[in-house]
Structure 1
Amino acid sequence: MKEWGKIIIAAVFEVGWVIGLKHADSALEWLATAAAIWASFHLLIVAGRTLPVGTAYAVFVGLGAAGTVIAEIILLGVPVNPAKLILIAVLLAGVVGLKAVTDQGGKKEWHGSH
């Protein structure tokens, strides 16, 4: 579960850098955006060493996308679009479902072409 926590935190940083790419105006805001990019991908890479990388990436992107839409509504005053919220709910259901059906066993190592 610790590795999935890293994916969740990585997705939070993803929300930060995605918003930063659009709204950063000062050197400090660009530095914070760059730090968020580094943190999100670092956590994704570290978690991907243990978790199935396809599922980890899908969860990371899904949570980041949903988080960005929600953050824009809450923090930036973007109007609420009910259809968008329904689609975000479907996306999150898919992310949760994908994680639920993913084998949590040990990671299989790749040893070249088989």
Structure 2
Amino acid sequence: MWWFVTAVAALFEIGWATGLKYAHDGLTWTLTIAAILVSFTGLLMASTRLPTATVYAVFVGLGTLGTVIVDMIFFEAGINAGVVFFVVMLLTGVIGLKFVTDADGKEAQE
């Protein structure tokens, strides 16, 4: 459940990160601020149940990945091999962190 909360928080991070760049009136700034509040509330909630460093890394990684994808799809950001390579590397790291942390939120022991 707490990984789901982290993923939802990351989705809202994508919203506010995009909003910081493209907000231009009261409504879009209000939505951006609301996304910030929801995002960080989810991050704080998940951090109480899972290892904080892992939650934060997953949160930032998914948020970065999503923001890059949103920019590419909706705002015509350039796509090049370097960006794709490093986004895949980032996603691999996020998935790896998820797998080395067990369901109870404790880091797996070797």
Compute the TM-score of the two structures, normalised by the length of structure 1.
0.88
Match of 1:23 in 2: 22
User: What aligned pairs does 1:78-93 form with structure 2 within 5 A after superposition?
Assistant: 78-93=77-92
**1:43 counterpart = 2:56:** no
Instruction: Measure how far apart 1:102 and its partner are.
Output: 1.8
Distance in 2 between residues matched to 1:16 and 1:37, nearest whole Å: 8
Distance 1:29 1:66 in 2: 22
Name the counterpart of 1:111. Answer: none
Q: CA RMSD in A?
A: 1.2
Task: Return the TM-score normalized by structure 2.
Answer: 0.91
Residue 4 to residue 19, structure 1, CA distance change in 2 (3 Å)? same
In structure 1, what residue type is equivalent to 2:80?
N
Residue aligned with 2:13, SS: helix
Q: Who is 1:110 aligned against?
A: none
Give the number of equivalent residue pairs: 106
Give aligned-pair identity as a percent: 47
Which string of whole-angstrom CA distances, capped at 9 and with x for unpartnered residues, describes residues 27-69 of structure 1?
1000000000000000111111111111000000000001100
Shift of 1:98: 1.1
Which structure 2 segments of 5+ residues have no match?
none
